[in-house]
């Protein structure tokens, strides 16, 4: 099986992918994401991108939340 990896920020709206790796994020934010269930191997859906380089809205385990584009660019996802 080949992995097709890219950053969460590179995905089109509506994409559902699994998280491959989370690196370079503030440990406090990483812990908060983990509390929401955002961990390696979990499926996540990109619900929307805010206008004017605003936040990225995500859905994970039925919860909606938003993160900055800077953090979204550091979450690597598997397209397959």
pLDDT tens-digit readout, 8-48:
999 999 999 999 999 999 999 999 999 989 999 999 999 99
pTM for the model: 0.86
The CATH number for 18's domain is 2.30.30.90
Alpha carbons 31 and 67: distance in angstroms, whole number: 13
The number of distinct structural domains making up the chain is: 1
| pLDDT over threshold 70, residue 5 | yes
Is 69 in a helix, a strand, or coil? helix
Look up the domain containing 58 and give its range.
5-78
């Amino acid at each position: 099986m080949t992995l097709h990896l890219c950053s969460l920020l590179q995905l089109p709206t509506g994409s559902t992918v699994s998280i491959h790796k989370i690196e370079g994020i503030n440990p406090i934010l990483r812990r908060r994401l983990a509390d929401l269930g955002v961990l390696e191997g979990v499926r996540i859906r990109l619900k929307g991108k805010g206008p004017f380089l605003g936040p990225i809205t995500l859905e994970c385990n039925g919860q909606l939340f938003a993160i900055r584009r800077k953090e979204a660019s550091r979450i690597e996802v598997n397209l397959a």
